[in-house]
Chains A and B, each alone.
Chain A
């Protein structure tokens, strides 16, 4: 079974704290993603990584950074948590699909982050 595992299901942090969200996948996928999901706004891409140490900004990268030192692990960092970063955070992984039918994306269970 493909597994994408996020380190925490629920987190409560204080404003101004540095927050780390960890994601690990066991399928040797090249692509990894961090999304946040808010009511009425759907899933919005924060950052995307297509290889170790490679990253691209998504639609809403402000206030976030990422780290991918190993292929299986992709970390999302909130440099100084703020209340407007309270959200559900979802990690995903996939292979790049070039028509070979191997591009299925898999998601972790989500981390509900509350910043107080």
Chain B
């Protein structure tokens, strides 16, 4: 059974710093891995989707990497801003297309 773990559960960093969020999964037979952002009380916003054949994907200040063989993904945020404060979740679809989520990393950027 696929399990997704995100470490740390919470993170506070000063504005302007670069930071890395981690995601690990137990079953490497995945088609893709997706990173989401969630603001308090809101739905999830898709940030990046990495296909299993890709090593990384970039969107603006965000860069996500995928190492399928080791069951790991990282989300790198460059030059963090207060507006980046949110919860970040990673997710992978199971073999039967059900999407499994980690519990997220709650990020707080200090002005």
Contacts and interface: CB of A to CB of B under 8 A. Distances in A.
Nearest to A41: B103
Interface in B12-47: 31-32, 34, 36, 41-46
A61 to B, nearest CB: 12
A79 B44 CA distance: 26
Interface of A: 4, 6, 31, 33, 35, 40-43, 45, 48, 50, 56, 58, 88, 90, 92, 94, 96-99, 101, 103-110, 112
Given A107-B43, A107-B44, A109-B43, 9 more contacts: A41-B103, A42-B89, A42-B102, A94-B97, A97-B31, A97-B97, A103-B31, A107-B46, A110-B41
Instruction: Enumerate the 5 nearest inter-chain pairs by beta-carbon distance, A residue then B residue, closest first.
Output: A42-B103, A97-B31, A107-B44, A109-B43, A43-B101
Interface of B: 31-32, 34, 36, 41-46, 49, 51-53, 89, 91, 93, 96-104
